[in-house]
Amino acid sequence: MGLFKKLFGEKEVGPYKDITTEVISGESEYKPIIMPLDLMKVNFEKAENQSNRKDEVRAIVLHHIYMGTFKQNVDFLVSKASGVSCHYVLGRNAELTQMVNTKKKAWHAGISKWTIDGVKRSNLNNCTIGIEIVNPGVLTYDADDEKYYCNRGGKTVAWAGDEPKKCEIVYPSGKVLSGYGVQYPEKQLKKLVALCKALIEKYPQIGQDDILTHYGIGRPEGRKNDPFGLDVDELKKLIFE
């Protein structure tokens, strides 16, 4: 995708504290390296919905969420009334808040199944870290008023942000869901990579195949479509460079 190419295709990296550069032998270009976050410096707001794990951390699950502003997303995820929670929520301007200690179980995966380390697992809340990425997900286009619409907290509202683009996700069965989506901003993606790198340093058992999507693990298949429009394969390359 163009956004990921931008991360590697420019000589000037920009004024990001979590970025450094190194010369690759035999190449004249600089390769941007995204450094792991300092997890101890991440803002923390405790979520009401959490419980004890029944397994060790084995994987990371990526989601999208859109409740409006970053604060509205945080307020929803920490509230008992939501019925859900996650370990981290990441805003479109790279805001980041942790709400469940990774030693605890957050309620993000729901009915889920996946094979991790050769073991078929269900109820993946027990063995995963959940990251909610602020993004409107699948948008619909109304040709009559020439506007795009998204779901914001259960309500259909007109989208007034970045220009939507054609996107798709592929389910484990090979089924493809196509639609309109909004690109994940560069600074949001960089923070996501830095967060995942830090989590993998903390939990080295998490490998490249253990960066999962909600639409991939959710059952029955098709129940979920998040994180819609995120190029997870390119994301993994950045995380495990």
* DSSP string covering 156-191: EEE--SSPPEEEEEE-TTS-EEEEEE-PPPHHHHHH
Q: What's the distance, CA 24 to chain centroid?
A: 29
Domain interval for residue 114:
36-239
Tens-level pLDDT at each residue, the chain (241 residues): 454 545 544 433 333 344 443 434 444 455 568 999 999 999 999 999 999 999 999 999 999 999 999 999 999 999 999 999 999 999 999 999 999 999 999 999 999 999 999 999 999 999 999 999 999 999 999 999 999 999 999 999 999 999 999 999 999 999 999 999 999 999 999 999 999 999 999 999 999 999 999 999 999 999 999 999 999 999 999 999 8
- Check: pTM over 0.75? Answer yes or no: yes
- 11 in a domain, yes or no? no
- 31 in a domain, yes or no? no
Element (H, E) at 148: strand 147-152
Exposure string over 116-147, b if 16+ CB within 10 A, otherwise e: beeeebeebbbbbbbbbbbbbbbbeeeeeeee
- 4 in a domain, yes or no? no
Residue 241: predicted pLDDT: 82
What are the CA-CA distances from residue 119 to residues 58, 76, 114, 116, 171 (Å)? 11, 33, 8, 5, 20
- 3 in a domain, yes or no? no
Here the CATH number for the domain that contains residue 199 is 3.40.80.10
- 97 in a domain, yes or no? yes
% of the chain with per-residue pLDDT over 70: 87
Residue 208: predicted pLDDT: 96
Q: Are 26 and 96 in contact (CB under 8 A)?
A: no
Q: Could you identify the residue written with the tokens 């976050």?
A: 37
Say how many domains are in the chain.
1
